């Protein structure tokens, strides 16, 4: 079992930046792909970004490309999401997720472990 705890959310003005962190426990994440998803008010959860086990591959939703950067530090069992140029439409609860795979490719619908989420609110 992998437990995931997100942090770093908050209230920020449009154009600002945040860095979300996801600390894993229970197992080392060295052989896990990691991802970030979000759920905006009144909407379904959507994929945001993912990174392969060794950072060899990253994937992004089109709407966040160039603004969001996913990274990981396996030694710290932590995954990050740097969010720049925030927009009001980025307001959502952001969730960290893990999927055991050492493939560089991944099916983002197959993430197995989920955190409780961290709220990001962007004011205009």
CB contact at 8 A, 115 and 9: no
CB contact at 8 A, 26 and 81: no
Q: Which sign, positive or negative, has the C-alpha torsion 19, 90, 85, 33? A: positive
Per-residue model confidence as pLDDT tens digits over 27-45: 999 999 999 999 999 999 9
Tokens representing residue 67 in the block:
């603004």
C-alpha to C-alpha distance for 88 and 27, rounded to whole angstroms: 35
CB contact at 8 A, 86 and 14: yes
**Length of the chain in terms of residues written:** 124
Per-residue model confidence as pLDDT tens digits over 2-36: 999 999 999 999 999 999 999 999 999 999 999 99
């Amino acid at each position: 079992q992998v437990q995931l705890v997100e942090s770093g959310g908050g209230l920020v003005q449009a154009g600002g930046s945040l860095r979300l962190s996801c600390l894993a426990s229970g197992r080392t994440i060295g052989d896990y792909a990691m991802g970030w998803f979000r759920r905006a008010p009144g909407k379904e959860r959507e994929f945001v970004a993912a990174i392969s086990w060794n950072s060899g591959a990253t994937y992004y939703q089109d709407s966040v490309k160039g603004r969001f950067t996913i990274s990981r530090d396996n030694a710290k069992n932590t995954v990050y999401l740097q969010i720049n140029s925030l927009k009001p439409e980025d307001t959502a609860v952001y969730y960290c997720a893990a999927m055991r795979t050492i493939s560089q490719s991944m099916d983002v619908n197959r993430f197995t472990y989920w955190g409780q989420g961290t709220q990001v609110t962007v004011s205009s």
